[in-house]
Amino acid sequence: MQKGKLIIFSAPSGSGKTTLVHHLLSHPELNLAFSISAASREKRPNEINGKDYYFITPDDFKEKIDKGEFIEWEEVYKNNFYGTLRSEVERLLQAGKNVIFDIDVKGGLNIKKQFPDNSLAIFVQPPSINALKKRLQGRQTETPEKIKIRIDKANEEMKYAQDFDVILVNDNLEKAKKEAYQIVSGFINQPE
């Protein structure tokens, strides 16, 4: 099945991983394709089904879990599932692409475990938990209770940073974009 490389970006919510992934996708020479995750949560107003996520119901998600259709999945919050469909990754690899993931920490490590030889796992670390809290508040998409849940989760996720191949500290977005490009370009252009 495998020809392309897998580039995994994981981070606590609000660390800037999505911004970095979009930056890398804007460089055609990297030959990247975005792995669209499946999610059972409600679609946000600015999101598009099949572009941002494949939005499916919790029941459909559980059925796909039972059928083994996910490379990885997690119940991130109660009845709120996220996962990577095996068919999505296979489709992109067969198209000759390198696959880039914007995925939670546990999911990222699960993919790395399954594809240790041709994947690069990058942990995007916020400068501090306090900076992370300010970013989440600045989004104005979450209630204070949700932000607290995300911060608690971030504290937990930070413990896994050392399990990744690379830790990229995002304390300056332009600098982080350059570093991300150099890291990913170096990995993609490595001889087999």
Mean pLDDT across the chain, nearest whole number? 91
Beta carbons within 8 Å of 94's beta carbon, 6+ residues apart: 1
Q: Which CATH class is domain 6-188?
A: alpha beta
State both tokens at 175: 């600098």
- In tens, the pLDDT along 148-161 reads 888 888 889 999 99
From CA 148, how far away is CA 126, in angstroms rounded?
A: 16
pLDDT, mean of residues 143-148: 86
Please tell me whether residue 186 adopts helix, strand or coil conformation. Answer: helix
pLDDT class for 10, splitting at 50, 70, 90? very high
How far does CA 54 lie from the centroid of its chain?
Answer: 14
Q: Judging by beta carbons within 10 Å of its beta carbon (0-12, 13-18, 19+), is residue 131 exposed, middle or buried? A: middle
- 191 pLDDT higher than 80: no
Please tell me whether residue 50 adopts helix, strand or coil conformation. Answer: coil
Q: What are phi and psi of 149, to 5 degrees?
A: -60, -45
**Extents of the domains making up the chain:** 6-188
pLDDT class for 192, splitting at 50, 70, 90? low
- Count of residues making up the chain: 192
Please tell me whether residue 190 adopts helix, strand or coil conformation. Answer: coil
